[in-house]
Chain A
């Protein structure tokens, strides 16, 4: 699913991040560990095609990302990758349903209300579909953010610090949600975190602090 070989990313002009080789098979659940500044987020963004490596090979879900041009890369991302961000970043002025609809629209997927209802239902927030994102509680926003990431049935689900700022119970729940949804959609899951509470849920770990 993910194949990284001799990958390097250049911040600005001279600061270069070199990444260890890394292979992820389809369906695996991985934890990317390391203190802040170790390049977890950069690795995640590289894998999602949001930034481009300076050198090395990067193959994700069967595509050589270095060979895709801008537009094709954006389309590929919309269709293949679901991303849950640390601060969730729902579009506050839109309804919950529209937050999922826009994910379908931007990924060039058909706008399918039945799919949206089903996805929200699986995450226990079906009754919030008409509410504005700004009106939701923290827990509900977490669920909607995961719903938005999986509504297009991505092959790869990425989460960046999903448990930061959460108490133990909420953090456990958030990880539970991600594992459950990855399972449900047959997606490969990669979680980047420095949160040690998450470790016990994952057998495979990539430690960037080394």
Chain B
């Protein structure tokens, strides 16, 4: 940029508005960003206009976010938090100023990549790192529409959790329900209902498995059913429990 009189108008000043609105072409956007570093006038213009653009979302008509969306987000977040927790990160957390190891990009990318690649073994690996001698991971199988699913049931200190990857989302208005089969009797319903993320990940706590031979999952109307209304899409066979 050529030197200018202090009160002269920068010829790029009109770009500032298009810049904060995200309306510059890609190469223009990059050029203007470089220009900003050397032009106080344009920096001031951007600083003035950016807060206005930040308020534009408030002009949108308010719509309530779908409950299922919130539920799917929380299922993923809780399962990732549990994976990290199972790895024992809480026990030896580094000093506040240091970047925790599990927040390093390589680890987060690893978890994300592993989840999207459907590596159910990650669960076992992380729990092994946790070092609990009471942890048992039982693999399960996906059936029919869920045949691509990676399924595992982890049992730790009397607590059981079903973790799935690459599982198709339930149809609209339906949810996955966990059933417990003891002996030859009909599967018993549980309050363990879950959905999965777009990437097909999900996790749900499973009630006591005492005497249970098989853990089954079916697709049921939202709210769950007392008797299965469709064929199982997941089966985890347990030894004598």
A in complex with B: no
- Interface residues of chain B, those whose CB is within 8 Å of chain A, are none
- Interface residues of chain A, those whose CB is within 8 Å of chain B, are none
